[in-house]
Each structure stands twice: as structure tokens, then as C-alpha cells.
Amino acid sequence: MKLTLKLILPGCLLAALAAQAQVKIATVNLEDVFTNYYKYDLAQQDINNLKNQIEQDEATMVQTLKEGNADYQKLEDAADNQALSDTERQKNSKAADAKLKELQQTRSALQDYDTSAKARLEDQSTRMRANLIKEIQTAVVSVAKGQGDTLVLDSAAQTVNATPMLLFSAGKDDLTQAVIARLNAGAPIGLNVTNSIPPPTPTVVRTNIF
């Protein structure tokens, strides 16, 4: 009996302590934070610049192909022109063959460039997102600790079934604006940034288990 009590009492004590410990839950809309962080626009500009450069390069290569095709057709026509001498027709035929090989190389280069460009864009976008999320998470932790929160939920998160992860929140402990302000406090002077967004629409915190 004494042994039983020795085992039960510590467990009861731990349960009582756990019950006394208050869990303070806050929310943050990571989507709003992400798109209102000043570095997001800067990173997006870099990606758009890269995309524009790629489009210009590919447009130049396509134009080269069009002009090359026109030259090839002229050489083909000349090679079949019976009004020309055999020597001239053979000369044009060889030139047409050389032009065709050149066109094939240009097409191959365009395909390789397009594949490489898509990979570069994907890699830059992935790295940009990962870096920003890491900085945002650091800011969320700092703000949450500052006001004594023990748990922060993403109010914009969704389940694998595309349903809201957070079904309801009164919005009283939403950190979104504070996190945005914390992140944008480091923006360069003169840069137009957003430090406030419309307050969250009220949506006790229940999570979707499905």
C-alpha cells in the first residue's frame, strides 16, 4: 500500500502542476506576414528581373531561328533552281546542309537554355522563400516570447484536404501586425513599407483534426 501511494502521489503532483500551467495561445497569419515583409517585394523584383532577362534571351534565339529558317529556305530553293548551273546548285545545296545543321544546334541550345532557365527560376524562388520564412519565424518567436505566448498557430494554414487548420480564433492574440512591424523596422530608409494591415476577422481556438 505504501509503495502504491509512493507511485501515485508523484503522478498526481505532476498532473496538478500541469493543470496549473497556463498555455497562452496566439495566432499569426503567415501569408499576410510573408507578402507584407519588405524583403518579399525586393526578392520578387529579383525574380521578375531574371524572368525578363530569360524571356529576352529566348526571344533573341527564336528570332535567330526564324531568320535562319528563311535563309535555309532560300538556299533550298536555289539548290533546286534549274536556271542555275550544276556548280551553283551544288554550292547552294552544301550551304543549305550547313545551315540546317546550324539551325538544329540553335534549336538544341534554345531547349537547353529553357530547361536551365526554369531550374534557375525554381531554385531562386525556393531559396528566397526558405530564407524569408526563416527570418519570419525568428520574428514570430521574438514577438511571442515578448508577450508571454507559449504556442503560436498559423491562422492561414490549411490541411491536406484544403480546409482551414484553424477553425476559429477571436483574433485577440493575433501577432500578425506586430510581426510585420518587427520585420519592416529594418527596411532601408525611403523604402515604402507596410507596417499595418486590416485587423483579422474573428474566425477559444479550435483546430481541425481532419
Domain parsing of the chain, residue ranges: 21-207
Q: What is the predicted pLDDT for the residue at 122?
A: 96
CATH entry 3.30.910.20 includes domain 21-207: yes
pLDDT tens for each residue of 32-76: 999 999 999 999 999 999 999 999 999 999 999 999 999 999 999
Q: What is the pTM of this model?
A: 0.70
3-state SS class at 150: coil
Q: What is the predicted pLDDT for the residue at 194?
A: 64
* Cα-based torsion angle of the residue sequence 129, 186, 198, 154 in order, rounded to the nearest 10 degrees: 40
N residues, the chain: 210
3-state SS string over 81-136?
CCCCCHHHHHHHHHHHHHHHHHHHHHHHHHHHHHHHHHHHHHHHHHHHHHHHHHHH
Q: What is the predicted pLDDT for the residue at 102?
A: 95
Q: What is the predicted pLDDT for the residue at 90?
A: 95
Q: What is the predicted pLDDT for the residue at 92?
A: 94
Query: Which parts of the chain have pLDDT scores under 70?
Result: 1-21, 194-210
Q: What is the predicted pLDDT for the residue at 21?
A: 60
C-alpha cell at 96: 543549305
Q: What is the predicted pLDDT for the residue at 96?
A: 95
